[in-house]
Structure 1
Amino acid sequence: MARRLRSVELDFAGSAPVRLVFTARVSAGPGAVYRALAEDVSAMPAWFSAVTAARSLDGGAGREVRLRGGVFFRETILAADPGERYAYRVDETNTPGPGALLEEWRLVPSGSGTLVRWTMASEGPTGFRRVMRAARPGVGQSFKRAMRKLDRRLAATATA
């Protein structure tokens, strides 16, 4: 059953009680990475294996994302700055625990590629916060694998 989370704004990415922040470098430029994140939403499962389905909603103002294990998120896009930043908050989910969730993707030119910084900001009861902190290594590995797959995918489309 879906439940509503607290509505947060962009500043939550820096002030949340739990912030998981990961970085990786990809060979593609910021514009290509941004398009993969923000415009080619339905292809996300091809490069982020935790995601089983993703689709844009409301003409791109929102998204619905489904993860392995049956978890789903209904999200509102808070920032869509091409080549720079993509951020969204979770408005509804079927997972217990979180009181608020926000994710922010920052894209910074780095040599001939892009430094991708992903921040997962959350709040919830003590038990949830402990679980999120304990999950940091696994989430980090999932992110690194996703960035390697995205890098290969973008390189293949650039040469096609």
Structure 2
Amino acid sequence: MVFAQEVRAAPDAVFHALADDVPGWADWFRQVRLARPLGDGGEREIRLVGGTRFRETILAAKGPEVYAYRVDTVNAPGLRALVEEWRLIPAGGGTRVRWTFAADGPLVLRLALKAARPGMGWAFRDAVRALDRRLAG
């Protein structure tokens, strides 16, 4: 799944919020209750509303263009693989934020994700707008 949203903030500011201010995710992404770097910063712990927990490994942190990570462990059943990429593209004095979400699991999980697509798009756009407001303030 791919979602995109334009913001006024510059790519370097958005990248900093994604890659360097990991705890700040809980302030602008409504579904995130806790975000913290682990070890030397190459891993993260994420806790979502509803109790889902992830341990992730950062795959790419190439500022100010791309931030990507994979889920190594999750307490949600059926998820075999999950990778997310945030690509930041300069656009009209701001940034086009493109989020790619790729997951693998049994058919029931894939169908559930397909049904959840509109809600995931709404959550992404809401989060990115909140991040833009945070960066403007």
Measured against the shorter chain, the TM-score band is over 0.9
1:48 match: 29
- Note the C-alpha offset of 1:98: 1.0
Pairing partner for 1:130 from 80, 95, 111: 111
Shift in Å, 1:59: 1.3
The alignment status of 1:76 with 2:57, answered yes or no, reads yes
Corresponding residue for 1:93? 74
The offset of 1:60, in angstroms, is 1.1
Deviation at 1:103, TM superposition (A): 0.4
- CA distance in 2 between partners of 1:96 and 1:66 (Å): 15
Structure 2 letter corresponding to 1:50: Q
Question: CA separation in 2, counterparts of 1:131 and 1:44?
Answer: 25
In structure 2, list runs of 5 or more residues that go unmatched.
none
Which runs of no fewer than 5 residues in structure 1 stay unpaired?
1-19
Mark the structure with the bigger radius of gyration.
1
Q: Secondary structure at the match of 1:129?
A: helix
Deviation of 1:141 after TM superposition, in Å, equals: 0.3
User: Which among 140, 143, 151 is matched to residue 121 of structure 2?
Assistant: 140
**1:152 and 2:101 aligned:** no
Does 2:45 match 1:64? yes
How many residues align? The count is 137
Q: Where does structure 1 differ by over 4 angstroms across 4 or more consecutive aligned residues?
A: none
Q: Deviations over 1:15-70 (max 9, x none)?
A: xxxxx110000101000000000000001011000000000012110100000011
Q: Please give the TM-score of this superposition, normalised by the length of structure 1.
A: 0.85
- Percent identity over the alignment is 56
Determine the C-alpha separation between the residues in 2 that align with 1:74 and 1:91.
Answer: 6
